Structure 1
């Protein structure tokens, strides 16, 4: 028998991992991770999917029932591939989820959640500024050291060898999204404005 898991088992494991993440249980340690980066990307992809269920967009922002909810991923191809596997066949409300791979120079319009990969603060700033001319409701997620200062709503961090995230309520308001209190209670830090 090969090392591949059956699809049902993979979903069960993913569900348990997401539940553990939202409960604050450590699921990422360097000792367990063999390939830390790969596991870290999988955990972040699972978080991105779950963030959608804890985010309220203004009425009409998601379009009619059946219109896709689009996650844009900039410069994180491995994470985008994992996210595509996670969201396959899933919906949030009445909206199927699609993943769109973007590059830094691509216009990120038409996305509902935008993840900017990497630690380069200049890249994060450039991508987030490209949204500025037409501020549509969008949940911005980054993983750069000062992502919240650049305008991100949620920024991933590694805290005590766990994938955690910080939140800027000011950026959420500026981007016309509202985060559930359930999501805020499991955040590492919640800031009223950018730190």
Structure 2
């Protein structure tokens, strides 16, 4: 938008002169900033208007300060389709394909992608996925799970082999997949959870 166009709009609408001047400056400067070459690398500083979060455990916390700042560092089993977030379409994050339920809708078997690694370089397996989901659904004594109540339909979560996770439900329900797509149901490392279930806090 040209500064002349901004001025014309300002004269018709009767905006205060300082506002029109500021808008004209912004309009003149915008094309230059849009033409800049994108930069890669560097440091992103992320600020939130909140006190320090109580912990950084996505299974325990619900605060904006925790979940929005830490979520980019973790994967989930499935997620809402990012290309159509208002739909009930779900896509894989760590699985290879969305499963068809069996056992009259009470069993979901997920195959886990191979080649996924944690930040320390160790491979992610189905055991890590099952351990993380068990920590959410059936937390050990003394461990808080903010979303445990979302999964009352789940009976067991097991990893029969390194690439398979099986959810067995108490009853069939259409609420299961939407609950499973919770963006804060992060997958943690089983070895760490086994040693210290509070480590991620």
TM interval, shorter chain, is under 0.3
TM-score by length of 2: 0.26
- The structure with the greater share of residues assigned to strand is 1
Give 1 or 2 for the bigger CA radius of gyration: 2
Structure number with greater CO (CA < 8 Å, separation at least 6) is 2
TM-score, normalising length: structure 1: 0.27
